[in-house]
A and B are shown apart, each in its own frame.
Chain A
């Protein structure tokens, strides 16, 4: 069973754009890609979801290439409050079940 792969950690400074890429080589045809954010002592929180090309909301943008084997979460002009762990999640529906398994996530540290 394939899994998602993300960088373990990233560092940035306030005001910069941050791009976090997730690899998901065995994504199924009907699967959507979903990103979550988790602050310490809280549960993960939904950020954005997409299927292909580009999706943008008030928090982030999600870029998905045509082959859908990866996706990139883009956070524009990060602030200290964006320091968190970011997870990408893809449901592998090939077995007919939908075990929503999280990877290790990317720990983003934003410095002043």
Chain B
């Protein structure tokens, strides 16, 4: 398996532009998580999906952020319009969903998408 695949790896854009980050989870994993990482705030959970359904989006900073998972093999995180404070590394992670027990928290992360908003 190629692991969790994210694209783009790097994106530089100007304030006000729309940004779309993409994620392909590991085949067979039915939980998908989006995280944002900055030096100041560390790793923040933005949203997660179980079986393509958003379960908790309380971490999404504001309405400019939206996430979708149209099928089991693809998810997007969109920022519109982007602002300089959105500059961060965005990680996607996946796992097999289990309420508890072995493997419940074993996330596999992608390499991340480094976003710079000028």
Residues of chain A having any CB pair with chain B under 8 Å: 28, 30-32, 34, 36, 41-46, 49, 51, 87, 89-91, 93, 97-105
Contact residues in B for A30 (Cβ distance below 8 Å): 99-101
Number of interface residues of B (CB under 8 A): 28
Interchain CB contact under 8 A, A31 and B48: no
Contact residues in A for B101 (Cβ distance below 8 Å): 30, 32
Interchain CB contact under 8 A, B91 and A105: no
Interchain CB contact under 8 A, B105 and A91: yes
Interchain CB contact under 8 A, B111 and A100: no
User: When chains A and B are docked, how far (Å) is the Cα of A42 from the Cα of B89?
Assistant: 10
- Nearest A-chain residue to B35, judged by Cβ: A102
Contact residues in A for B108 (Cβ distance below 8 Å): 46
Contact residues in B for A90 (Cβ distance below 8 Å): 105
- Nearest A-chain residue to B110, judged by Cβ: A43
In the complex where A28-B100, A97-B56, A99-B56 touch, is A46 in contact with B107 (Cβ < 8 A)? yes
Interchain CB contact under 8 A, A31 and B107: no
Interchain CB contact under 8 A, A100 and B33: yes
**Candidates A41, A49, A102; contact of B106 at CB < 8 Å:** A49
Residues of chain B having any CB pair with chain A under 8 Å: 4, 33, 35, 42-43, 45, 48, 55-56, 58-59, 91, 93, 97, 99-112
In the complex where A100-B48, A104-B42 touch, is A46 in contact with B100 (Cβ < 8 A)? no
Interchain CB contact under 8 A, B100 and A32: yes
Interchain CB contact under 8 A, A32 and B93: no
- Nearest B-chain residue to A103, judged by Cβ: B42
22 inter-chain pairs at a CB distance below 8 angstroms, sorted by A residue, are A30-B99, A30-B100, A32-B100, A32-B105, A34-B106, A41-B112, A42-B111, A43-B111, A43-B112, A44-B91, A44-B109, A89-B105, A90-B105, A93-B99, A97-B56, A98-B55, A98-B99, A100-B105, A101-B45, A102-B43, A104-B42, A105-B42
